[in-house]
Amino acid sequence: MSIIACDRVMPLTDALPLMSDCISLQLSATLLVMCSEHISSRLFVDVPVLIDLFSISGGESFLSCATTVEWTTPQGSIVRKVNYRTASLRLIRNEFREMFMEISSDKHAAIRLALKGINVFKKFMAEGKASVKFQDAGCTLFISNAPPTNLVSFLRTIFVKMTGEKDQSSATTPSKQSMRAKLLSGKAQSFEEISPVTVADIHNAKSKIIPKSTTTTPSPPTKKRKHDDASRGPAPKKLYSPSPLTTTSALNPEQQRVLEACLGGKNIFFTGSAGTGKSFLLKRIVAALPPDVTVATASTGVAACHVGGTTLHAFAGIGDGSGTVDHLCDKALKLPLVAQKWRKCKHLIIDEISMVDGAFFEPDMFEGMTNHLEEYSSYCVGTSYNYTPVVDKGKTEKRFCFQSPCWDRCIDLCFELKEVHRQKDHEFVSILNSIRIGRVTKEISDRLLGTARQNIESDGILATRLCSHTNDSKMINSSKLQDLDGEEKVFSSQDSDNASKTLDMQTIAPAKLILKVGAQVMLLKNINLNSGLVNGARGVVVRFEEGLPVVRFKNKKEYMARAERWYVRNSSGSLLCRKQVPLNLAWAFSIHKSQGLTLDCVEMSLSKIFEAGQAYVALSRAQSLDTLRVLDFDSRHVWADSSVLEFYQKFRRRLQHMEIVPLGRPLADKTNKKLKLREILEKQMRRK
Ligand X SMILES: Nc1ncnc2c1ncn2[C@@H]1O[C@H](COP(=O)(O)OP(=O)(O)OP(=O)(O)O)[C@@H](O)[C@H]1O
Task: Enumerate binding residues for ligand X (CB under 6 A).
Answer: 8, 249, 251-252, 255, 272, 274-280, 386, 421-422, 596, 598
Considering CB distances under 5 to 8 angstroms, the limit depending on partner class, which of Mg ion, ligand X, none binds residue 276? ligand X
Nearer to Mg ion, 510 or 596 (CB): 596
CB of 462 to Mg ion, least distance (A): 25
In one-letter notation, the amino acid at residue 156 is R
Query: Helix, strand or coil for residue 363?
Result: helix
- Least separation in angstroms between residue 577's CB and Mg ion is 23
Cβ atoms of 165 and 188 within 8 Å: the answer is no
Residue 275, contacted partner among ligand X, Mg ion, none, CB below 5-8 A by kind: ligand X
Q: What values do phi and psi take at 568, rounded to 5?
A: -140, 165
The residue at minimum Cβ distance from ligand X is 277
Instruction: Look at phi and psi of residue 352 and say left if phi exceeds 0, alpha if psi is from -120 to 50, else beta.
Output: left
Measured from the CB atom, the residue of 297 and 598 that comes closer to ligand X is: 598
Q: Which is nearer to Mg ion, 284 or 557 (CB)?
A: 284
Nearer to ligand X, 274 or 604 (CB): 274
Distance of CA 268 to the CA centre of its chain: 17
As measured in angstroms, the least distance from the Cβ of 159 to Mg ion is 33
Residue 179 CB, shortest distance to ligand X, in Å, is 51
In the complex with ligand X, which residue's Cβ is closer, 278 or 565?
Answer: 278
Residue 365 DSSP one-character state: I
Rounded CA separation 458/663 (Å): 49
**CA neighbours closer than 13 Å in the CB half-sphere of residue 245:** 35
Nearer to ligand X, 10 or 111 (CB): 10
Nearer to ligand X, 29 or 369 (CB): 29
Q: How far is the CB of 242 from Mg ion (least distance, A)?
A: 14
**How is residue 408 annotated by DSSP?**
H
Minimal distance, residue 255 CB to ligand X, in Å? 6
Q: Nearer to Mg ion by C-beta: 6 or 118? A: 6
* Core vs surface per residue 282-313: b (16+ CB within 10 A) or e: bbbbbbbbbbbebbbbbbbbbbbbbbbbbbbb
The verdict on 596 binding Mg ion (CB under 5 A) reads yes
Per the DSSP assignment, residues forming a β-bridge with 467 are 590
Region near Mg ion per CB under 5 A, out of 347-355, 389-397, 588-596, 618-626: 588-596
Residue placing its CB nearer to ligand X in the complex, 130 or 420: 420
Q: Considering only 137-145, 275-283, 444-452, 532-540, which stretch makes contact with Mg ion by CB under 5 A?
A: 275-283
In angstroms, the CA 687 to CA 235 distance is 51
In what side-by-side order are the strands of the sheet with 583-585? 558-560, 548-553, 538-545, 520-523, 583-585
Q: Specify the stretch interacting with Mg ion by CB under 5 A; choose among 79-87, 211-219, 239-247, 273-281.
A: 273-281
Q: How far is the CB of 278 from Mg ion (least distance, A)?
A: 5
Do the beta carbons of residue 518 and residue 487 sit within 8 Å?
A: no
Tell me how far, at minimum, the Cβ of 422 lies from ligand X, in Å: 4
Its sign, for the CA torsion 277, 279, 280, 284, is: positive
Burial of 510 (0-12, 13-18, 19+ CB in 10 A): buried
Q: Provide CB contacts within 8 A for 398, sequence distance 6+.
A: 11, 14, 357, 388, 389, 391
Selected from 279, 294, 297, 535, the binder of Mg ion by CB under 5 A is 279
Q: How far is the CB of 207 from ligand X (least distance, A)?
A: 29
The interface partner of residue 272, options being Mg ion, ligand X, none and the CB cut-off 5 to 8 Å by kind, is ligand X
Binding-site partner at residue 251 among Mg ion, ligand X, none, CB < 5 to 8 Å by type: ligand X
Residue number with CB closer to Mg ion (596 or 662)? 596
Burial pattern 147-185, b for ≥16 Cβ within 10 A else e, equals bbbbbbbbbbbbbbbbbbbeeeeeeeeeeebeeeebeee
Phi, psi of 317 (to 5 degrees): 70, 35
CB of 533 to Mg ion, least distance (A): 20
Residue 263, H or E segment: helix 253-263
Nearer to ligand X, 129 or 621 (CB): 621
Whose CA is closest to 283, among 236, 249, 239?
Answer: 249
Closest approach of Cβ 205 to ligand X, in Å? 26
Q: Which residue is nearest to Mg ion (CB)?
A: 279
Which of 505, 511, 508 shows the shortest CA–CA distance to 24? 508
Provide the binding-site residues for Mg ion, judged by CB under 5 A: 279, 596
